[in-house]
């Protein structure tokens, strides 16, 4: 069952991630699947939507609405945490890419690049038509 300690850890996690209760839209839906009369009479399925991120969660794992509320919040926080981590990784990779692009090339690499450009220019000159060569 659900204990006060579990609720407390969930609240701490919400504070760490910056998720407020006001940002979460909660609604209850009738569950589907096994569960018999309990499922047909009570709305045990919990639907949560986090407004700032647009993430949605639907949970109907347990027959108890209280447990489903807890599980749905737990899943929602995991999704938000994953999204934040992905954004941080993307930001870091963009920063590293910029640093790689801006750093100076070694002298040997520069020499190779200029040599390949010179060879390419010679190939293009060799492909010219005779009329173009006389005019130039």
Q: Supply the DSSP string of 104-135, one letter for each residue.
A: PPPHHHHHHHHHHHHHHHHHHHHHS-HHHHHH
Q: Where are the domains of the chain?
A: 4-98, 105-135
- 47: its two tokens: 């639907």
Query: What's domain 4-98's architecture?
Result: 2-Layer Sandwich (3.30)
Residue 123 pLDDT greater than 90, yes or no: yes
- Residue of 122, 114, 18, 26 lying closest to 70 (CA atoms): 26
| pTM (two decimals) | 0.72
Give the model confidence (pLDDT) of 40-85 as tens digits. 778 889 999 999 999 999 998 888 889 999 999 999 999 999 999 9
Q: What is the pLDDT of residue 130?
A: 73
């Amino acid at each position: 069952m659900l204990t006060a300690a579990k609720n407390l850890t969930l609240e701490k996690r919400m504070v760490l991630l910056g998720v407020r209760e006001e940002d979460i839209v909660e609604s209850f839906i009738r569950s589907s699947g096994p569960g018999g009369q309990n499922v047909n009479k009570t709305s045990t399925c919990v639907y949560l939507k986090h407004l700032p991120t647009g993430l949605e969660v639907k949970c109907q794992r347990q027959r108890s609405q209280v447990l489903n509320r807890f599980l749905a919040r737990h899943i929602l926080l995991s999704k938000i945490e994953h999204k934040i981590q992905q954004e941080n990784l993307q930001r870091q990779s963009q920063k590293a890419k910029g640093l790689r692009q801006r750093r100076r090339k070694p002298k040997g690499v520069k020499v190779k690049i200029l040599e390949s450009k010179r060879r390419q220019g010679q190939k293009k000159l060799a492909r010219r038509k005779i009329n173009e060569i006389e005019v130039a």
